[in-house]
Amino acid sequence: MDPDASSWFRSMSSTFSFLFFGFTILFSIFALFLYVVRLRLWCSCEICRSYVTSSWRKDFANLCDWYTHLLRKSPTGTIHLHVLNNIITVNPENIEYMLKTNFENYPKGKPFSTVLGDLLGRGIFNIDGHPWKFQRKMASMELGSVSIRMFAFELITDDIRSRLIPLFSLIAGKEEVLDLQDVFRRFSFDNICKFSFGLDPGCLNLSQPMSKFATAFDTASKLSAERALVPTPVIWKLKRLLSIGSEKKLKEAISMVNELAYAIIEERKRTGFSTNKDLLSRFMASIDDHKYLRDIVISFLLAGRDTIASGLTSFFILLSQHPEVESVIRQEIDSVMTSTPCDDLASFEQMREMHYLNAAIHESLRLYPPVQFDSKFAQEDDVLPDGSFVKRGTRTTYHQYAMGRMDRIWGQDSHEFKPERWLKNGVFVPESLYNFTVFHAGFRVCLGKEMALVEMKSVAVAVVRRFSIRVADSKQVPRFSPGLTATVSGGLPVVIQEIKN
């Protein structure tokens, strides 16, 4: 190229870069300004002031504990955080209205789907309207089938027998401290990957580094959730545009997840999928689009991984603090499994007979729900049954964690761990889904509820029958890390002892 033309081209391209980045930065500052104006960051009401200055930290370990305190005081069970444009409620009538009666007005909405869009794509968690209806129908048909439930149960019992119990026996013999939360996260990831993809990441082998897939998936879900924590989406969007910092890492992690997911889909297509029992193979019978298949399955990984690990972690925290509950569970297991050898696991039918265990698991989920709150975005102006006005675009949140601590729902002992509250004459009696919203309710109720309960009960029976687990710091009040699912900050160090029969 002519040297003059080349220098003209270089100077034009640097002018263009300068204009482009200058415009991007100015536009971002303007967007930030508009966002701040919309947020009404100057609101001086007591709740907003306490939120903005973080003064609530003086009295509460977790944000969810402060919200619980405010919601307990509110006569309607609803509060408004003006600076976040967020209405938070624990009022069961409001919740039924949002999730069922006026469901169409409370979709997940764009703010939510943008945050998780790069990871989840068009997966069921991230969509509304017709695409959601279609996927929901397909997924509920698959998850409702007896054959998939049997398949899930086989995978769970296999992982407990061949991985979890040997690991606990090994640690108990050495009297080492173990991070129980980490073990349950690895266990549930192995399990949900086999169930969804037919892939075994082998995470529960503690002597091996975490598989590339598990590490990438962890990073991708953590960084996606952190997008929701920045004061304005403009910040992460700008970082994404420039591919810098956490957004660069997120992009790399998602590419790794995609690479592995597509490799599995292509391999399955080549070798045939009709005899495989995992979810991906089942969906492949009716869907050909690889991107869509990837999106569907990734949502299931997210749904079934951290939720189960979180539920099991808090269950064992509570058992460690309440040995009296643990011994009733042990008595029940012994009476139902009298003629079952100690190294055998409980069958489906045996678990159905364990009413007290079922009650203890529900009670633990009530106090420590794996999903602590759930938000929708109002499409149009509306009024909730308790009279709260909801302006179009307002984030409307129902708070599972706070709900489990409301005297008006559970009685004056709402803060106590009492499995008996779920029993009538020794038989488990379920609570209304609008009081016990741990698995969501209404049209988008969790599709994996039964599977999750079977998994939690199977682990509980196998572990409680053979081991005694004590949290190293028994007075520890759980502090949660911010994220999509409740995770105990710093993990859960425990000491495990084998029970000699």
Least Å from the CB of residue 369 to ligand HEM: 6
**Binding residue for ligand HEM, selected from 106, 300, 373, 398, defined by CB under 6 A:** 300
CA distance 297 to 277: 14
Annotated ligand binding at 446? The verdict is: yes
Task: Report the candidate in 460, 492, 487 with the shortest Cα–Cα distance to residue 473.
Answer: 492
Strand partners, 390: 382
Pairing of strands 395-398, 86-89: parallel
Least Å from the CB of residue 308 to ligand HEM: 5
CA distance 103 to 91: 16
The residue number whose beta carbon is nearest to ligand HEM equals: 448
Residue 452 makes contact with ligand HEM by CB under 6 A? yes
Contact segment (CB under 6 A) with ligand HEM among 218-226, 246-254, 305-313, 461-469 equals 305-313
Residue 357 makes contact with ligand HEM by CB under 6 A? no
Helix 245-271, helix 212-227: angle, nearest 10: 130
CB 240 within 8 A of CB 248: no
Structure-token pair, residue 261: 């997911």
Residue 401 makes contact with ligand HEM by CB under 6 A? no
**Binding residue for ligand HEM, selected from 107, 385, 448, 483, defined by CB under 6 A:** 448
Least Å from the CB of residue 448 to ligand HEM: 2
Residue 234 makes contact with ligand HEM by CB under 6 A? no
Phi, psi dihedral angles at 194 (to 5 degrees): -65, -40
Nearer to ligand HEM, 190 or 374 (CB): 374
**Binding residue for ligand HEM, selected from 92, 311, 419, 483, defined by CB under 6 A:** 311
CB 134 within 8 A of CB 283: no
The number of residues in the chain equals 501
For the CA atoms of 37, 41, 44, 47, what is the dihedral angle to 10 degrees? 130
Structure-token pair, residue 28: 């971002």
CA distance 144 to 128: 21
Least Å from the CB of residue 193 to ligand HEM: 11
Task: Report the candidate in 162, 161, 165, 218 with the shortest Cα–Cα distance to residue 189.
Answer: 218
**Binding residue for ligand HEM, selected from 238, 296, 308, 492, defined by CB under 6 A:** 308
Residue 124 makes contact with ligand HEM by CB under 6 A? yes
Nearer to ligand HEM, 83 or 224 (CB): 224
Nearer to ligand HEM, 48 or 280 (CB): 280
Annotated binding site: 446
Residues within the interface to ligand HEM (CB under 6 A):
124-125, 136, 139, 300, 303-304, 307-308, 311, 370-371, 374, 438-440, 444, 446-448, 451-452
Q: Which residues contribute to the annotated binding site for heme?
A: 446
